[in-house]
A = this chain, B = another copy of it.
Amino acid sequence: MKDQRVSEAVIRRLPRYYRQLELLIKNGVERISSSELAEQMGLNPSQVRQDLNCFGGFGQQGYGYATKKLYQEISDILGLKREYSMVIAGAGNIGSALCNYEGFTQRGFVVKALFDNDQAKIGSEVNGIAIRDVSEMKQFVKDNNIDIGVICTRRSSAQQLADDMVEAGIGAIWNFVPIDINVCVPLENAQLIDSAFVLSFKLDRQD
């Protein structure tokens, strides 16, 4: 399983399967066919079968997928058996909102600290999480074996802070700053303005 190559497109659909199955279970649905699941998710049935086959094919001919079993399997594939620790660099607007976002803790993504260089912020708390001096960040990441480093700073310091996190042994970087950063660990980009630009592109061409 760990050796298998999975395409980026499939990886990006997995969270959607996970969320959809969660919803089905919540609504008391015990099994579902690939075509029903596909329709609900706006995918085509053969794609759903192909995607889930990548991970061993849990469906049964004529029965479909047992929702709870498939949910559990996808949860395992997504690595959700354990908690992931996060630190957030930048206790501004977006960093604070992420720290307040209940969805993370509920899913096992636990923010351990916020870091900032603003003396007025250092020492205060967001959602019960201390804001620490950014100069302590590397040591904190090292000491606490942090999994995910979230970058929500100004553009000018984003790359340096990502480098510091990687040097301290962070597992992955999640970048909210509208600048391309280069790191040798898994990187997830969440540049808000890029999504806005994609929308303006599409809106402009519709006119």
Contacts and interface: CB of A to CB of B under 8 A. Distances in A.
A194 to B, nearest CB: 4
A198 B103 contact: no
B196 A107 contact: yes
B77 A201 contact: yes
A174 interface: yes
Taken together, the copies of this chain in the complex come to 2
A199 B108 CA distance: 12
B97 A201 contact: no
A190 B192 contact: yes
A174 B195 contact: yes
Interface in A148-207: 148, 171-172, 174, 178-180, 182, 186, 188, 190-206
Given A190-B192, A193-B103, A172 B109 contact: no
A71 to B, nearest CB: 13
A72 interface: no
Contact of A197 (B42, B80, B205, B206): B80
A19 B178 contact: yes
A61 interface: no
A147 interface: yes
A24 interface: no
Given A186-B206, A198-B188, A100 B93 contact: yes
10 contacts: A11-B201, A14-B198, A40-B180, A41-B180, A77-B201, A78-B200, A84-B196, A84-B203, A94-B97, A103-B193
